[in-house]
Chains A and B, each alone.
Chain A
Amino acid sequence: MLFSISWRNIWRNKVRSLVIIFSVALGIFAGVTSTAFMKGLAEQRIQKVIKSELSYIQVHKKGFRQNSELKSYIPGAAALTQDIRKIPHVTGASRRVVVQAMIASAETATGVLIAGVNPEQEKQVTNIHEKIIDGAYFEGIKKHPVVIGKKLAEKLNVKVRSKLVITLQDTANNVISGLFRIAGIYTTNNNMYDESHIFIRIGDLLELTTLPEDVAHEIAINIDDSENLPVVETQVKNLAGGLEVMDWKSLSPEMNYLTEAMELYMYIFMIIILLALLFGIINTMLMVVMERTKEIGMLMAIGMNKFRIFSMIVLESIMLSLTGGIVGIFIGALFSKWRSIVPIDLSMWAQGYEQLGFDAYVYLSLDPIMLVNVTILVIITGVIAALYPAYKALKNDPADALRME
């Protein structure tokens, strides 16, 4: 009966209750959609980094990641790569030789990181071949083709078929140069990456550096589903012996931190919204208690004890908040679901976003656990909002209250 009274009490002043319900709904809607937006943004960024830059797992010789030395290579990498491809859930493995070098056009020069790759193998691991905006991925140039990023092409003021000179050190520490011709220009929308990463054939790089034929500095591995990452990682470790096997989270801790930071930020944001709403609910509940002083006095007189009075006020506040909360969650979830299929278009501000490595089109992503947590937070808000008004109600003296006109 207490539930029934509390629920009906909410609708005694429809306009006032609807104003609160609407504001809670709006606040929660804003919270839910912005968290879905943030999560979508972070997930897309991570996926992009995995697909364009990192891949799921990388194998290196211990120490290579710290010193990037030419001689820190994996011997017998070709065979190991073959074996890795046979592991279930592995969809591709690419052997890479990675060298720091200078690249020069007719106008200027800059430092870059060269990845010597087998184009066919690389296609199974990263999606750079899908990001070609001019020319083709290692096609159209027979001798010494190079694929460079758009930002680098702009910096060097070059286009497809332009010549570039790559200068690096070989294994005997001699400075040597090679003439390359641009086969394709790619863009990942991450300007920093595009400006510093170029791709050439692994054979060309091995020849320039005089490294043995079957070696690699890095084996990049792609898998079918991120859920299978731990299993695959263990099997790769078994195959790789004393080599360093790292997943994307260890390779790029800042990406992992991005998810955690976003999650924390989402909750802080939600709590700020609820805090703002809290004062509105307190105000409404105070009005409710003041208006019903006589009625509360009567309830006390006929035998409703303090615990029940308190529960009635708290229930009313929870129901008021939760009604708005559920409406907000429902609309927010619906909107997020729709926007997880039809992305939000931020192309108007794309340049700024892309410079940070984010997409101009954001697919919202909603975590169901988050919705449960928001519901709990709304209930807690309802309880907190009721405490002071309920305390005021309990301070009522039934005899004084009943004397009121």
Chain B
Amino acid sequence: MNVIEIKDLVKIYNSSEVKVKAVNGITVDFEEGEFTAVVGPSGSGKTTFLNMLGGLDRPTSGEVKIGGINIWELSSKKLIDFRMNNIGFVFQAYNLIPVLTAGENVEFIMHLQGKPKKERELRTRELLESVGIGDRIKSRPAKLSGGQQQRVAVARALASKPEFILADEPTANLDSKATTELLELMAEMNRKYNTTFIFATHDQRVMDKAKRIITIEDGKIIKDEEFDQ
């Protein structure tokens, strides 16, 4: 079943002198439970593509349908709610809330969703344990290593029970051991919860783990390959 349907997606940045086509007519579908890497050189349009997919950057034209809803036809308020309930984000720089503990960071999104306290606490504990840092629930991000912070970010992305998780260069700031562990973890989460993962990455190790690799160059898909893992 297609979770995400993308049709003729275009993004043009209008700078003062030149128009830059960051994404130039991408049409692609993603299915439930995919573990896909979007790859390509710097400036190829990966991040812009992911941002439009995640409802962060408005496309110049084209459609992004998630579960049958064209997200760019939603009002900005509804789009924020849609993001909260359907999309999980993992960023390159972890981007945890520094004043909250690991547990509170995970709980925060469920708080925004209005989930009851008991349910929030239970799920937070379960998620942090499943990403292997249940014992650091009360630690603030500054007290955690990069790998641990990114695990918290994965747990946070999963907390809202999203349809899919968008991860923009999630391993870029991690050493190879932490990268391997994180990829193992995300693959496990993909299997366990059947959550779709879409990565934008340069990292060969991510590509090695991916079941599908979409290669973008100059804002266009030039290759779309599927692998059996």
Contact = CB atoms under 8 A, between A and B. Distances in A.
B95 to A, nearest CB: 4
A5 B100 contact: yes
Contact of A304 (B47, B85, B107, B112): B112
B167 interface: no
A276 B81 CA distance: 40
14 contacts: A1-B108, A5-B100, A8-B99, A8-B100, A295-B97, A298-B89, A298-B91, A301-B56, A302-B89, A302-B156, A303-B80, A303-B160, A304-B112, A399-B51
B83 interface: yes
Contacts of A302: 83-84, 89, 108-109, 112, 156
A303 B99 contact: no
Contacts of B91: 298, 402
A308 B112 CA distance: 9
Q: Is the interface of B mostly helix, strand, loop or mixed?
A: helix
B63 interface: no
A305 B81 contact: yes
Interface residues of A, number: 22
Interface of A: 1, 4-5, 8-9, 12, 294-295, 298-306, 308, 398-399, 402-403
Contact of B56 (A4, A12, A306, A402): A402
A301 B83 contact: yes
A404 B81 CA distance: 24
A294 B51 CA distance: 15
Contacts of B98: 12, 295
B111 A398 contact: no
A272 to B, nearest CB: 34
A399 B97 contact: no
Given A303-B85, A304-B112, A308-B112, A402 B95 contact: yes
Q: Which of B80, B84, B93, B104 lies at the interface centre, i.e. has the most chain A CB atoms within 10 A of its CB?
A: B80
B109 A303 contact: yes
Interface of B: 47, 51, 54, 56-57, 77, 80-81, 83-85, 89, 91, 93, 95, 97-100, 104, 107-109, 111-113, 156, 160
B99 A9 contact: yes
Given A5-B99, A303-B160, A398-B56, 15 more contacts: A1-B107, A1-B111, A5-B97, A295-B97, A295-B98, A298-B95, A299-B97, A301-B56, A301-B83, A301-B89, A303-B81, A303-B109, A303-B112, A305-B81, A403-B47
Contacts of B95: 294-295, 298, 402
Q: Which of B51, B85, B109 lies at the interface centre, i.e. has the most chain A CB atoms within 10 A of its CB?
A: B51
A333 to B, nearest CB: 32
Given A5-B99, A8-B100, A295-B95, A305 B85 contact: no
A359 B57 CA distance: 71
Q: Which of A5, A12, A299, A399 lies at the interface centre, i.e. has the most chain B CB atoms within 10 A of its CB?
A: A399
A77 B81 CA distance: 85
Given A5-B97, A5-B99, A399-B56, A303 B83 contact: yes
A294 B91 CA distance: 11
A305 B160 contact: no
B77 A305 contact: yes
Contacts of B104: 1, 4
Nearest to A292: B98
